[in-house]
């Protein structure tokens, strides 16, 4: 994100966001948090070995990273991801 937005505008984007299956869901099991036709956050299963241990997120524009934690549900990961997106979008 190159242009920073106001907190009110970022909140409006978040309020319009929905969690949907990614187009490649059958292969990846990824979900996207989308607002205004733009994917803001990717939510993916987290694994330890071959066992799923929860869900993790990353900001879609930056790609996968290991900075986030593991969340019990995909909804919790999506909420955490939107918080990270908001901080990124409004950072001055």
SS3 track for the chain: CCCCCCHHHHHHHHHCCEEEECCCHHHHCCEEEEECCEEEEEEEEEEECCEEEEEEEEECCCCCCCCCCCECCHHHHHHHHHHHHHHHHHCC
Instruction: Give the CB-side neighbour count of residue 18, counting CA atoms within 13 A.
Output: 5
What would the pLDDT profile of 14-59 be if each residue is shown by its tens digit? 999 999 999 999 999 999 999 999 999 999 999 988 898 999 999 9
Confidence at residue 2, expressed as pLDDT on a 0 to 100 scale:
53
Residue 1 pLDDT level (bands cut at 50, 70, 90): very low
Statement: the pTM of the whole predicted model exceeds 0.75: yes
The overall average pLDDT reported for the chain is 92
Confidence at residue 32, expressed as pLDDT on a 0 to 100 scale:
98
């Amino acid at each position: 994100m190159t242009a920073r937005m106001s907190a009110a505008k970022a909140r409006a984007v978040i309020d319009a966001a929905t969690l949907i299956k990614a187009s490649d869901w059958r292969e990846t099991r990824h979900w996207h948090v989308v607002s205004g036709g733009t994917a803001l956050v990717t939510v993916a299963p987290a694994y330890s070995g071959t066992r799923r241990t929860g869900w993790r997120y990353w900001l879609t524009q930056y790609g996968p990273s290991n900075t986030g934690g593991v969340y019990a549900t995909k909804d919790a990961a999506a909420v955490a991801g939107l918080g990270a997106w908001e901080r990124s979008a409004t950072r001055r």
